Structure 1
Amino acid sequence: MNSVIKVGKLDAARRQLRAAIHNIFHGGDPIVAHTLLGAASIILTYLVEHRVPEKSWDRFAQDANALAPGDYFNIMRKAQNFLKHAKNDPDGSLDLNPTDTESLAFFAVMNTGELLSHGGLGQLSMDESVFQLWYIACHSLKLEGAADPFKEALKVFGDLRNAARTDRIAAGRRVLKEYQQ
């Protein structure tokens, strides 16, 4: 029996992304989730920039916030860089906000969706789709009167924007469990 596992870049990133989503919804270690998401998001960013750069959610965020690419990635990757490097700050510490982890996961899911739809590679997994709607229900600036996918997020989760984080996580876990059955 051959014990070698052959994996492509997109498959590796999606495995990391799905593991992080499960970690988030099941109360796992947020440092582990962010580390997995950091690895996945870098791969997904490079893939979308290579294959469909006009659909990059990182570029969309850069433009929306009037940030140069370097400034954007310094902000988006601050925690993940801290979690994987110790050369320049061996005694450093980090205050990790779980919302930053959720945002990193959302951008990774959105870039995954672009890669899949524009490459004819299928659709988001159930985990990825549930997370996408959950994030919208939790963090969207406007849900009322909005078009899809905002209506779908409201239908599946209700408005979670003012819910306690524990309640938001429980809602994500519940819906993920419902849709996996």
Structure 2
Amino acid sequence: MSEPISKIEGASRQLDTAIDLYFDNADSLSAHALAFAAFKVLFDLYPHHQGDGFAAQIDAMISKEGWRAMSGVANFLKHADRDPDALLRAHHPEEAMSVIGLATLLYRRIAGDFSPKMRAFDIWIEQEAHDALGIEEIDGNEARAAEHKRIRDSVRALPHEAKMVFARRQYHYILENFDRFAEVAAREMEEGLSVTDMLDSRDAERKG
């Protein structure tokens, strides 16, 4: 007999599937529809789990552009009673990416952490939008930090298809090795090592 499925689990499964579609560079409309469905459920659930007003902040942010614009693609795919002959403008995967990003933020704040697939997506977004988000470089090794920036810039400049080939490789690598990375990082943090110390140690291991 199958177990009951909660709203949060259902949203999580939709979101994880949307992330798979995104990194596979598969149908962007399907990814968008799944991500928006998950986002709307999580947005509605948020006040029932957290009282910090974060959902209200997202509401205010979206309201600047208009909820109709935010939900336009999802509504186009869901309804046809009033506009059976309507056409959707060209759809780019980056539109699904932004919806996935908002949904993963809500999920983490409700559930306490990302799913592994959401974590891999978050790592990719931090790389893709590192400068736009104002993320601080935490590696104190200037040469290595400069190399990190060079790689980010070169990947960002790639055509979409080539960029997604790189993204897909990274996505699967993170999923396959995340538990090992987490164990090593936890052990190094217990030893009081900084991020720079950890990276120095790993560089030394590779060279030695």
TM superposition shift of 1:140: 4.6
The residue aligned with 2:132 is: 142
Matched, 1:86 2:80: yes
**Aligned twin of 2:104:** 109
**Identical residues among aligned pairs (%):** 24
- The two structures have a TM-score, normalised by structure 1, of 0.77
Higher helix fraction (1 or 2):
2
CA-atom RMSD, angstroms? Answer: 2.7
Letter in 2 for 1:35: A
Contact persistence 1:62–1:72 (CA under 8 A): no
The one of 11, 23, 35 aligned to 1:13: 11
Q: Residues 1-181 of structure 1 correspond to what in structure 2 (within 5 A)?
A: 2=1, 4=2, 6-54=4-52, 56=54, 59-64=56-61, 67=64, 72-95=66-89, 96-117=91-112, 123-142=113-132, 146=136, 158-159=152-153, 160-181=155-176
Determine the C-alpha separation between the residues in 2 that align with 1:55 and 1:163.
38
**Post-superposition shift, 1:53?**
4.7
Higher gyration radius (CA)? 2
Contact kept? 2:15, 2:100, Cα under 8 Å: yes
Runs of 4+ in 1 over 6 A off after TM superposition: none
Q: Which runs of 5+ in 2 are unaligned?
A: 139-144, 177-208
Q: Does the 8 A contact of 1:13 with 1:44 survive in 2?
A: yes
The one-letter code of the counterpart of 1:10 is I
Cα pair 2:28 2:92 within 8 Å, conserved: no
Deviation by residue 1:57-108 (Cα, 9 ceiling, x = unmatched): x5334545772xxx63222111111110111111111122322111000000
TM-score under structure 2 length normalisation: 0.68
Residues 1:84 and 1:109: Cα distance change in structure 2 (over 3 Å): same
